[in-house]
A and B are shown apart, each in its own frame.
Chain A
Amino acid sequence: MWTTSSAVWLYVGESPLWLVRKFAKTNREMPLKRSITTTLAAAFALLSAPVFAQALTGTLAKIRDTGTITIGHREASIPFSYLDDKQQAVGYAMDICAKVVDAVKAELKMPNLKVALQPVTSANRIPLLQSGSIDLECGSTTNSVDRQKQVAFGPTYFVINVTAAVKKNSPIKTLADLNGRTISTTAGTTAVPLLKKYEKTGGIDVKEIYGKDHSESFLLLVDDRVQAFVMDDVLLAGQIANARNPGEFRILEESLRTEPYSVMLRREDPQFKALVDRTIGGLMKSGEIEKLYAKWFMSPIPPRKVNLNFPVSPALREAFKNPNDRGVQ
């Protein structure tokens, strides 16, 4: 990792000793204690660069020390973060994270920073982030107050509604119509506790079947094994867009709850958090996020060149106007 850049700053532990190790094109290593002037020059260079005015901590220090930033991505969260037909991680969240990576490169002055990709699941994303296996999770993670006790989030980049998909000719028009029906939902999602709570407060009774992933839950609806599939609206739209007869289904207008999606990073890491907030907030202020949104939600996307046709919702418009990292209760 020391071979790619011509000059690398090395920060040793908490000591104020800064060393500069210069690698010439010949890749010849200089003696560590070369001369006092080199050290002084290095110290001067450090002080003059605003970014190094204060010692780096947390994730940024880790990225600089290892020369690598590791991005956690999902494999099937269309269109946020998924593998395309070439098995490359792509998506709306991946594009946003690419901007964050660019900002990290600029901040650390490491244009050749190595970007490692690590697939994560909804079950292991938080432990992997906490253990340091990934530095930033770019997927479809709900920012909730509960989760904020364990991790931190960047500004909300998407807002979803938890609702239900039904067959077009179904008599179900509202969530209350689900009473007495059998519905499917995907195990391990926030829709599950939400639905149970709604059953209790709304006084309705539904039978749930849990699919192990969204396509299995959707299959239950396609085969008429259940009358509705309760899930985040954008994921329902993704399943419907990929169905054999997309016209056969519709999504209810009512919403069980609105949830913000965001990138996930470690807690108590003010420098990295500030960089993420600044970068993603900047995309929103400059309007650049609209272009990214249109690319993934309003145009054909890989692997099957399907168009989700999912315009920006009023809630998301609001989040773009006032970037924030408020979690849902």
Chain B
Amino acid sequence: MGISLDWSVFLQELPEGGVFYWEMLLSGLWWTLGVAACSWLIAMLFGSVVGTLRTIDNRFVVFLGNAWVELFRNVPLLVQMFLWYFVVPEFIPPLKAWVVAADPAHAQFLSATLCLGLFTSARIAEQVRAGIQSLPRGQRYAAQAIGLTTAQMYRFVLLPMAYRIIIPPLTSETMNLIKNTSIALTIGLAELTFRTREMGEYTFRFFEAFTAATLIYIAIAMTANRVMALIERRTAVPGYIAGAK
């Protein structure tokens, strides 16, 4: 009894030949990074807009923002992934026609990116709102007093400060997003975890495959963490709470 480990498995070729197992994991890594990067852009865009709208002086718009956040935050990510890939196309015939005709990987990539982007946008919206509301009321009054429009007030006064405050929670959100891309394996997207499991099934070396995947995920998440820390230092306003040293 006991498990024997064999790390040379990564240097073996796949049964169909021509490709090594480390290359297989790497091909999954590119999909992971691609989904993470694209959905991060969607998440930041929608998260910023929705988060900002939730702080303006219009109850209807605030309600819509709240509804957005609650919708995407309260449905399990696994279920959302299933809905985007399997259910949504069934209700939109042109989309279904495209999904059937297109390369399966493209349809999976689109579903996964939209799903993760919108899910994360709800979380980022909550942080943007919190960031804006944590600013002293005086800033808003001062902006209004010097005659800025609402858009100018957010653009030049509130948001530049709010973003600096929320860099630490945004870092966690970015790291979460990277790790959440693994949920895309449930719709068959051949990302890193998918490839890891596949490698396990081919070689029956699950421990080796998952150890490698763990190290890769740690490396990506740590890189994201360091990049965000750098941004935090570079954008710090001396004397102000965020990033002040």
Enumerate chain A interface residues (CB-CB to B < 8 A): 122-124, 126-127, 130-132, 146-147, 150, 182, 187-190, 192-193, 196-197, 200, 207-212, 216, 219, 223-225, 266
Contact = CB atoms under 8 A, between A and B. Distances in A.
Interface stretch (B65-73, B99-107, B127-135): B99-107
Nearest to B209: A123
A131 B3 contact: yes
A216 B16 CA distance: 26
**What is the interface residue range for chain B against chain A?**
20 to 34
B173 interface: no
A192 B198 contact: yes
Nearest to A208: B104
B27 to A, nearest CB: 14
Contact of B188 (A146, A147, A210): A210
A225 B1 contact: no
Contacts of B100: 182, 224-225
A189 B86 CA distance: 21
B202 interface: yes
Contact of A188 (B16, B99, B104, B197): B197
A213 to B, nearest CB: 9
Contacts of B86: 216, 219, 223
Nearest to B200: A123
Nearest to A266: B1
Contacts of B14: 193
Contacts of B198: 187-188, 192
7 contacts: A123-B200, A146-B204, A187-B194, A187-B201, A193-B14, A207-B104, A216-B186
A193 B15 contact: yes
B219 to A, nearest CB: 23
Given A187-B188, A193-B15, 19 more contacts: A122-B201, A123-B206, A126-B204, A130-B1, A130-B2, A187-B198, A188-B197, A188-B200, A188-B201, A192-B198, A192-B201, A197-B16, A207-B103, A207-B104, A209-B108, A210-B188, A212-B186, A219-B86, A225-B89
Nearest to A200: B16
B188 A212 contact: yes
Interface of B: 1-3, 14-16, 86, 89-90, 99-100, 103-104, 108, 185-188, 190, 194, 197-198, 200-202, 204, 206-207
Mostly, the A contact residues are mixed
Contacts of A189: 201
Contact of B90 (A127, A187, A223): A223
A196 B16 contact: yes
A200 B3 CA distance: 34
A211 B206 CA distance: 20
Contacts of B201: 122-123, 187-190, 192
B135 to A, nearest CB: 45
Contact of B3 (A127, A190, A212): A127
Contacts of B15: 193, 196-197
A197 B202 CA distance: 13
- For B2, B100, B188, B197, the residue with the greatest tally of chain A CB atoms inside 10 Å of its CB is B188
A228 to B, nearest CB: 13
Nearest to B18: A200
B197 A147 contact: no
Contacts of A192: 198, 201
Top 8 nearest A-B pairs by Cβ distance?
A210-B188, A209-B104, A132-B1, A188-B201, A212-B186, A196-B16, A193-B15, A126-B204
B241 to A, nearest CB: 45
A192 B198 CA distance: 9
Contacts of A208: 104
B16 A225 contact: no
B109 to A, nearest CB: 13
A211 B1 contact: no
Contacts of B200: 123, 188
B166 to A, nearest CB: 35
B1 to A, nearest CB: 4
A212 B14 CA distance: 21
A122 to B, nearest CB: 7
Nearest to A196: B16
Contact of B185 (A187, A196, A200): A187
A216 B188 CA distance: 10
Nearest to B82: A216
A103 to B, nearest CB: 22
